[in-house]
Amino acid sequence: MVVVTLTGLAYSQAHGLLSGITVSQALGSDEPRSSGGAMNILLIGLDSRKDQAGSELPDELLEKLHAGDSDSGGYNTNTLILVHISADDQVVAFSIPRDDYVAVSGIKGYSHIKIKEAYGLTKFQTEQKLVDEGISDRAELERAGREAGRKATIRAVRNLTGQPIDYFAEVNLASFYHLADSLGGIDVCLNHAVHDDYSGANFPAGRQTLNAEQALAFVRQRHGLENGDLDRTHRQQAFLLSVMHQLQESGSFTDLDKFKRLMGVAREDIVLSQGWGEDQFRRMAALAGGSVEFRTLPVVRYDTINGQDVNIVDPSRIRAEIARAIGGDSAAATTSAVPQPIPPPNPHTVISIVNASDTSGLASQAAALLGKHDFSIDEVRDRESGEPIDTVITYGPGGQTDAQSVATVLGVENAPQATSALAADHVRVVLGQGYDVPQEPLAQDVAATSTSSRSWSEMTITPTPDQGAPIDGGKVPCVN
């Protein structure tokens, strides 16, 4: 966000400074776009220890990054921020937790992944396909792989949020370090002292100035924080606000020599989508002087799937929250997010659940959800040969009402079907390919995962739950 803002300001004052910035074609001209003068920009932060050409970063820089060797991290997008700028230049920035478990298409062997993995998995598969076709040029493989990874990331974010993506900007760990180094230190504020060997974060409580190496550790730490990745997201938000305020006060927005140094960072590390022009940069530059509202998209619960820690999310609820935040019509989006009341089940009704998909644990998830509504589960198993492969609910005599309730709870749109093959008061659920168990929203989720800011001086990010009153950081947001 900071690099893009600086790029925009430089553009308006000295067009020649933009030469040499990499432009991506990953966002096609036929993609859906925002209307009514609004603009959505996706900010992509890669956890890559390599430069834009795929070359190894210098060992001395890797040592300062405290982020492992050049093979660590892969090409995960560990930071995703969707910035919405309204027609009157009001800004809302939505942080997307990297471990959100989302449905995907076009990635061979996967129906669901962590959203951060869309880039790297697609890059790898694209490069492998090209190698199989006889292409061996390393630069061409890197370029094609990264473009495919960007397209996959854009598609995943668009599917999750329901929002069009008009422009994007991509930076990596080296970019972050170079930016912090060029600014000569970043002011941060911590509610509590922290020590983490993984990221290298070792800081006392209170307000303090961090050098580039320490600043990277500050925003990368998640171990030892009560809310893990969500606390890290709050730190990223606080860092951005602190840097923007610092740039304002230091005169970097009006000093052309300072601009030239900062633009050197942009040329080396930033990738922009095609179509950026003076108007887009001007509106992005408004972030420097106006209020920015930060929000973290809600997570329903944490889970472990195939040995990975993931965030279970409800896309319909996420879309509703975004619509409310940007002033859109959220009525349609909220309909599916709010569970409708259902009658208590017949105590004699029993439910059988069959997983006919290749998603492991799907039947168990559905059983757990039905159990919350007091349904009695008789059987949970995988599909056997000859059984249906589509999502369908059938019921025996006397089971129609409960079958319809089961369909409502599980979000199955097809009407339940009567069958003589089932005994009285029996309901059978078959979950087919592509079916997802809906996640019921929890009342406390929004409070636990949403943060906002009104102005530099008023901004205080207080993660929930918080321990004790925040330390006064002045104009610097205090975080865990």
Residue 7's identity, in one-letter code, is: T
Among 103-107, 112-116, 287-291, 453-457, name the most confident range: 112-116
Please give the residue that has the higher pLDDT: either 335 or 257.
257
Report the percent of the chain where pLDDT is more than 90: 25
**Residue 235: per-residue pLDDT:** 85
Q: What tokens appear for 117 in the block? A: 């993995």
Where is average pLDDT lowest: 132-146, 257-271, 397-411? 257-271
User: Do 448 and 419 belong to one domain?
Assistant: no
What global pTM score does this model have? Answer: 0.65
User: Do 426 and 447 belong to one domain?
Assistant: no
> Where do we find the tokens 């062997």?
109
Answer yes or no: is 338 within a domain: no
Rounded to the nearest 10 degrees, the angle between the axes of helix 315-325 and helix 138-161 is 80
Where is average pLDDT lowest: 50-54, 84-88, 130-134, 420-424? 50-54
The domain that holds 415 is classified in CATH as: 3.30.70.2390
User: Do 370 and 253 belong to one domain?
Assistant: no
- 67 pLDDT band, cuts 50/70/90, is low
**Residue 456: per-residue pLDDT:** 31
Answer yes or no: is 24 within a domain: yes
User: Cα(85)–Cα(292) distance, rounded to whole angstroms?
Assistant: 10
Q: What is the mean pLDDT of the chain?
A: 78
Answer yes or no: is 246 within a domain: yes
**Residue 143: per-residue pLDDT:** 92
- 44 pLDDT band, cuts 50/70/90, is very high
User: Do 38 and 77 belong to one domain?
Assistant: yes
By residue range, what is the domain housing residue 389? Answer: 350-431
User: Do 13 and 76 belong to one domain?
Assistant: yes
Q: What is the mean pLDDT of residues 297-325?
A: 88
Q: What tokens appear for 144 in the block? A: 């094609």
**Residue 252: per-residue pLDDT:** 56
Q: What is the mean pLDDT of residues 11-22?
A: 58
**Residue 459: per-residue pLDDT:** 37
**Residue 265: per-residue pLDDT:** 67
- 333 pLDDT band, cuts 50/70/90, is very low
User: Do 147 and 168 belong to one domain?
Assistant: yes
Q: Is the dihedral of CA 116, 121, 126, 127 positive or negative?
A: positive
User: Do 116 and 155 belong to one domain?
Assistant: yes
- pLDDT tens per residue across span 113-131: 999 999 999 999 999 999 9
Answer yes or no: is 344 within a domain: no
Q: What tokens appear for 313 in the block? A: 């999310």
Residue 147 has pLDDT above 70, yes or no: yes
Distances (CA, A) of 95 to 79, 84, 325: 8, 11, 13
Residue 70 has pLDDT above 50, yes or no: no
Residue 81's identity, in one-letter code, is: I
Please give the residue that has the higher pLDDT: either 46 or 277.
46
**Nearest C-alpha neighbor of 7 from the set 270, 217, 313, 371:** 270
Q: What is the mean pLDDT of residues 351-365?
A: 88
**Residue 450: per-residue pLDDT:** 38
User: Do 259 and 205 belong to one domain?
Assistant: yes
Total number of domains in the chain: 2
User: Cα(292)–Cα(318) distance, rounded to whole angstroms?
Assistant: 19
| In contact, 69 and 62? CB cutoff 8 Å | yes
Answer yes or no: is 203 within a domain: yes
User: Do 419 and 281 belong to one domain?
Assistant: no
User: Cα(292)–Cα(340) distance, rounded to whole angstroms?
Assistant: 35
Q: Which of 431, 455, 471 marks a domain boundary?
A: 431
Residue 299 has pLDDT above 80, yes or no: yes
- Determine the 3-state secondary structure of 471 from DSSP: coil
Answer yes or no: is 239 within a domain: yes
Residue 441 has pLDDT above 70, yes or no: no
User: Cα(292)–Cα(455) distance, rounded to whole angstroms?
Assistant: 7
Annotate 121-168 with three-state secondary structure.
HHHHHHHHHHHHCCCCCHHHHHHHHHHHHHHHHHHHHHHHHCCCCCEE
Residue 3 has pLDDT above 90, yes or no: no
Answer yes or no: is 317 within a domain: yes
Give the contacts of 16 (CB within 8 A, at least 6 positions apart).
Answer: none
Answer yes or no: is 104 within a domain: yes
User: Cα(339)–Cα(298) distance, rounded to whole angstroms?
Assistant: 17
The domain that holds 315 is classified in CATH as: 3.40.630.190
> Where do we find the tokens 């990596």?
172
**Residue 270: per-residue pLDDT:** 81
**Residue 256: per-residue pLDDT:** 58
- Determine the 3-state secondary structure of 74 from DSSP: coil
Q: Quick check: bond before 339 cis, omega within 30? A: no
Residue 303, H or E segment: strand 301-305
Task: For the chain, give the number of residues.
Answer: 480
C-beta atoms surrounding 60 within 10 Å: 8
- pLDDT tens per residue across span 371-412: 888 899 999 988 887 777 889 999 999 999 899 899 988 988
Distances (CA, A) of 445 to 160, 232, 333, 440: 17, 17, 17, 11
User: Do 201 and 175 belong to one domain?
Assistant: yes
User: Do 294 and 246 belong to one domain?
Assistant: yes
> Where do we find the tokens 């993609």?
31
User: Do 265 and 298 belong to one domain?
Assistant: yes
Q: What is the mean pLDDT of residues 172-183?
A: 77
